[in-house]
Amino acid sequence: MEDNGKWTQIKVTAKREHLDTVSAVMEMIDNGIMVEDYSDIEDLLDGVYGDLIDESILNADRTRVSVSIFLPESKFTPEVASSLSARLNELGVEHEIACEGLEENDWANSWKAYYHPIRTGERVVIVPVWEDFTPEPDDVVILMDPGMAFGTGTHETTRLCAALIEKYLKPGDRMIDIGCGSGILAICASKLGAADCFACDIDPEAIRVARENVTLNGTDNVTCEVSDLVRDVIPPTGGFDLAAVNIVADVIIRLAPDLGRYLAPDGVAVLSGIIVERADEVTAAMERNGFKVIDSMTENGWFAAVVRK
């Protein structure tokens, strides 16, 4: 079905204390979220940015946050919003939910204001294609045009994953990126010296954007395919030295029994997209399936781990 450039923004507003819960629930529908949180605005008022802040932001309620996802016309139904609201009610989260239609071009251009070069790890710098950037001599620059697939490195989960890939990937490794979004992690692995990378996502739009970003970066050793947890694209055999799984806790737990089949004997998996409250649940699932946690990182309530068979 054609989307005709029409999208729907589903926006949930709640108390700031529920930010992680709302984000996790909405990422079960789509892992590209936009968060509006003005609680730290005071830190900017005393600095050089005070005069640059819009009046509407200065007057915003800093005790509340809004989390949005954007769905194409072919994927949005009223039941999506109803399901989100029902799940939040089950979790005891008081909230308001709103849906607004918008055109693709307006949506895409408005997002550009939120994206700037982001440094992850020691050497990797993720640069939106429309931004001017002068790299340092050792920088590994990844150009990103997220389109409708999100994933420019601004979210903590992507930054954590990219930093751990930089730490554990060895030149010549084979890499698989499960739930690749814009392709950022597979491209990162390629530029860090991976021999070949396989990127997959359940969303055809994400794969279209990922392929465009592969071309943009000249990383011809990255292959991108539509897949549900990779089972319908590649056989369940080993061989990948590093797997990146930046999705959500529930999907990682679902994948745990099969993940080992894709890894080489000494392969590692980088897991992200996990709120800290569910870190123990995810690590327990991995341990039940023969994995050991060898490293982990946290940032702003998000958890990432490296596991080995």
- Domain range list for the chain: 6-111, 115-308
Q: Could you give the CA distance from residue 160 to residue 70 in angstroms, rounded to a whole number? A: 24
Straight-line distance from the first to the last Cα atom of the chain, in angstroms, rounded to the nearest whole number? 42
- What class is the 6-111 domain? alpha beta
pTM: 0.64
Helices 19-27 and 78-90: crossing angle in degrees, nearest 10, is 140
Mean pLDDT computed over 32-41: 74
Residue range 129-188, pLDDT digits in tens: 777 888 888 999 988 775 544 444 556 788 899 999 999 999 999 999 998 888 889 999
Tens digits of per-residue pLDDT, 208-230? 888 999 999 999 999 999 887 65
Angle formed at CA 220 by CA 218 and CA 225, multiple of 5 degrees: 120
- Cα 244 to Cα 293: distance, rounded to the nearest angstrom: 14
Note the CATH number of domain 115-308.
Answer: 3.40.50.150
Q: Can you list the pairs that 55-64 forms with residues at least 24 positions away whose Cβ atoms lie under 8 Å?
A: 60/36, 62/16, 62/38, 63/15, 63/16, 63/39, 64/13, 64/14, 64/15, 64/16
**One-letter identity of residue 195:** A
R_g of the chain computed on alpha carbons: 19
Q: Which residues contact 89 (CB under 8 A, 6 or more apart)?
A: none
Tell me the pLDDT of the chain averaged across its residues: 81
